Amino acid sequence: MIDPRAVRTFHEVCRAGSISAAARALNISQPSVSSAIALLEARLGTVLFARGRSGIVLTAAGEALQARAQMLDHLLRDAEAEVAAAREGVAGPLRIGGTPGALVSLLPLAIARLEAAFPHLTLNVLERPDRDLAGMLRDGDIELAFVTTAMDEAPDDIAERTLARDPFALIVGAGNAAMPDDIALRRAEGLRWVLPEAQGAFRRQVDALFTAAGVAVPRDVIRCDSLLTTKAILRDTTRVTILPMRVAASELSMGVLRAVRIEEAGFERSIGVRWLKARGLSLLARELLARLEPESIA
């Protein structure tokens, strides 16, 4: 069996970029680091990296081990943090990531349900674009990713669960008070838009609505990935956007924004959670998932 201490030493060498820098970071001698790496290479029967003037260069075997070493480092870090929190009667910590729309659609409900059983918990939430989330799961930076689902097949190493479906609508502010309650995009050429910038699943779904209507994606458009900024623009201008209803639920309930039904919106947005199959989920992650059974969001 591989010595986990040697793997953590290897991880520090990779992170620091050299044997000497790793020794300083670990507060041990350079020969001790070299010896640990040599024993690890002997145990694995392969060379993990070459040593040069500019530092280390990982071999193919070294790159393979580096990913696992980082996961082990995060696993031990999380174990220490969870035990420390448990001593103080706090659940967690749980680190999650997600796209802004998926998080705002699912996370408040998840927290409300979770706090009934765990009144004291530690949760870290990171907003990131779709393209970053799979890597963050694999690196152990997050345990769960809240995303748009059912667009692409999940990678083989990542599990996906769809939790809710949310209809799209045209979202407008007071400047468009005269707009009817239903609209066809093919007859909406004069509208001025705020639309997502990031090339992710949400933007592809929005673009698909224009394609379904047989019209080009608008040119008079402000590209913005911040939901807070987008909704603020709608409140203060005559620009409009397309959002899932749940994403704009708070402003719709207060009456500061209004939802207009899109005639061509023949599909709903699917949202859910992804996680790494090979990594066992923490107690808090399992409990959160258990409280988010698939449901219809109207």
Q: Are residues 118 and 186 in the same domain?
A: no
Report the pLDDT value the prediction gives residue 171, as an integer from 0 to 100: 97
Q: Which domain holds residue 225?
A: 166-268
Which CATH number goes with the domain that contains 107?
3.40.190.10
Q: Are residues 160 and 279 in the same domain?
A: yes
Report the pLDDT value the prediction gives residue 297, as an integer from 0 to 100: 36
**Quick check: is 62 in a domain?**
yes
Q: Are residues 187 and 42 in the same domain?
A: no
Q: Are residues 98 and 128 in the same domain?
A: yes
pLDDT digits (tens, 9 = 90+) for 191-226: 999 999 988 888 999 999 999 899 999 999 999 999
Alpha-helix runs per DSSP H in the chain = 4-16, 19-26, 30-44, 60-87, 100-117, 130-139, 201-213, 227-236, 249-254, 283-290
The DSSP string of 139-165 is HTS-SEEEEE-SSSPPPTTEEEEEEEE
Q: Count how many domains the chain has.
A: 3
Q: Are residues 41 and 103 in the same domain?
A: no
pLDDT at 296 over 50: no
Q: Are residues 204 and 232 in the same domain?
A: yes
**Quick check: is 72 in a domain?**
no
The label of the residue with tokens 């870090």 reads: 77
- Assign 224 to helix, strand or coil: coil
Q: Are residues 178 and 254 in the same domain?
A: yes
pLDDT at 298 over 70: no
**Quick check: is 71 in a domain?**
no
**Quick check: is 245 in a domain?**
yes
Q: Given pLDDT bands bounded at 50, 70 and 90, which one contains residue 85?
A: low
Q: Are the CB atoms for 7 and 48 separated by under 8 Å?
A: no
pLDDT digits (tens, 9 = 90+) for 112-146: 989 888 889 989 999 998 889 999 998 888 999 99
Q: Are residues 159 and 174 in the same domain?
A: no
pLDDT at 17 over 80: yes
